[in-house]
Chain A
Amino acid sequence: MSAEGAVSVDHVWKRFRVDRGRRLLRDHLSRAGNTIRGSRNDDSWRWVLRDIDFQVAPGESVGIVGSNGAGKSTLLKIISGLMFPYAGEVRTSGQVGALIEVAAGIHNELTGRENVMIYGNLLGLSRKQVNARFDEIVEFAEVEQAVDRQVKYYSSGMKVRLGFAVAAFLEPAILIVDEVLAVGDSSFQQKCLERMREVLTGGTTLLLVSHDLASVGASVSRGIWLADGRVQTDGPIEDVLGDYRHAIEVEAEQNSRMQGDIRVTSVATTGVDGRLPAVAEDVTVKLTVTTDRERDARLYLGISEGQATPIFVVMHAASLAEGSTEYEILLERLPLPPNRYFLWFGAWDHHTLEQATPWQPIGPLLMSGQRRLDRVPKAIVRLSPVYVSAQWSKVQ
Chain B
Amino acid sequence: MEVEDETQSHSGMPARSLDAVDENGRPILPELPDGPDPSTRYRRSHNTRSALVSLWQSRGITLSLAQRDLRASYSQEVLGFAWVLIGPIMLMVVLTFLKNVSNTKIDTGGIEYPLFLYVGLLPWTFFSTSVSTSAGSLVNNPLLNKVYAPRETFVLAQIIEAMVNTVAAAVALIVLFVVYGRMPEATSFWVIPLLVILLVFAVGVSLFFASLTVFVRDVRHALPQALQLGFFVTQIFWGLADISQGWRIVVCAINPVAAVIDGIRRSVFFGTAPDLTLTLIAAGVSLLWLMVGYRVFKRLETGFADVS
Contacts and interface: CB of A to CB of B under 8 A. Distances in A.
Interface of A: 11, 13, 16, 20, 23-25, 28, 47, 50-51, 77, 80-89, 96, 98, 100-101, 104-105, 107-111, 114, 118, 121-124, 126-127, 150, 227, 230, 232-233, 239, 242-243, 246-251, 253-254, 256-258, 264-270, 276, 286, 338-340, 362-364, 366, 368
A251 B71 contact: no
Given A232-B27, A270-B7, 18 more contacts: A11-B40, A25-B216, A77-B305, A84-B303, A104-B142, A104-B146, A105-B146, A109-B75, A110-B72, A118-B68, A121-B64, A124-B61, A239-B17, A247-B26, A264-B1, A268-B7, A286-B7, A363-B3
A122 to B, nearest CB: 5
Given A24-B217, A363-B3, A363-B8, A118 B42 contact: no
A87 B307 contact: no
Contacts of A105: 142-143, 146
B26 A242 contact: no
Given A80-B148, A122-B146, A246 B302 contact: no
B44 interface: yes
A122 B64 contact: yes
B16 A239 contact: yes
Nearest to A284: B7
A100 B146 contact: yes
B145 A82 contact: yes
Contacts of A239: 16-17
Given A101-B142, A246-B21, A87 B8 contact: no
Can you list the 8 inter-chain pairs with the closest CB atoms, starting with the nearest?
A250-B25, A87-B36, A247-B25, A104-B142, A258-B1, A109-B72, A268-B7, A121-B64
B51 to A, nearest CB: 14
A114 B68 CA distance: 8
27 contacts: A20-B307, A23-B307, A24-B216, A25-B218, A50-B32, A51-B32, A80-B148, A84-B303, A85-B42, A104-B146, A110-B71, A114-B75, A121-B61, A121-B64, A122-B65, A122-B143, A122-B146, A123-B147, A127-B60, A242-B15, A243-B27, A258-B2, A264-B1, A268-B7, A269-B8, A338-B14, A340-B15
Contact of A368 (B1, B13, B42): B13
Interface string B5-47: 0111010011111100101111101001001110011101000
A104 B143 contact: yes
Interface string B185-225: 00000000000000000000000000000011110000000
Given A51-B32, A122-B65, A150-B76, A257 B1 contact: yes
Given A81-B148, A118-B64, A364-B8, A13 B35 contact: yes
A138 to B, nearest CB: 18
B8 A268 contact: yes
Looking at A24, A258, A366, the one whose CB has the most chain B CB atoms below 10 A away is A366
Given A13-B35, A77-B305, A121-B64, A227 B26 contact: yes
B308 to A, nearest CB: 11
B24 A86 contact: no
Interface in B285-303: 302-303
Interface of A: prevailing SS: mixed
Given A87-B42, A122-B146, A266 B2 contact: yes
B268 to A, nearest CB: 37
A128 B24 CA distance: 53
Contacts of A233: 17, 27
Given A105-B142, A251-B24, A368-B14, A89 B72 contact: no
Nearest to A111: B75
B215 A121 contact: no
Contacts of A77: 145, 305
Contacts of B36: 11, 13, 51, 86-88
B146 A121 contact: no
B13 A121 contact: no
Given A233-B27, A242-B16, A264 B10 contact: no
Contacts of A100: 145-146
A96 B148 contact: yes
A152 B103 CA distance: 51
A16 B308 CA distance: 12
A243 B17 contact: yes
A318 B76 CA distance: 66
Contacts of A47: 35
B125 interface: no
Contacts of A124: 61, 148
Contact of B15 (A108, A286, A366): A366
B17 to A, nearest CB: 6
B277 interface: no
B22 to A, nearest CB: 9
Contacts of A11: 36, 40
Nearest to A231: B29
Contacts of B148: 80-82, 96, 124
Nearest to B69: A107
B255 interface: no
Contacts of A81: 148
B61 A122 contact: yes
B32 to A, nearest CB: 6
Nearest to A86: B42
Nearest to A152: B76
Nearest to A267: B3
A268 B4 contact: yes
A257 to B, nearest CB: 7
B7 A87 contact: no
B245 interface: no
A227 B60 CA distance: 40
A227 B44 CA distance: 28
Given A121-B60, A122-B147, A84 B1 contact: no
Looking at A96, A122, A258, the one whose CB has the most chain B CB atoms below 10 A away is A122
Nearest to A115: B68
A25 B213 CA distance: 11
Contacts of B44: 84
A86 B41 contact: yes
A362 B3 contact: yes
A132 to B, nearest CB: 16
A254 B36 CA distance: 32
A239 B15 CA distance: 9
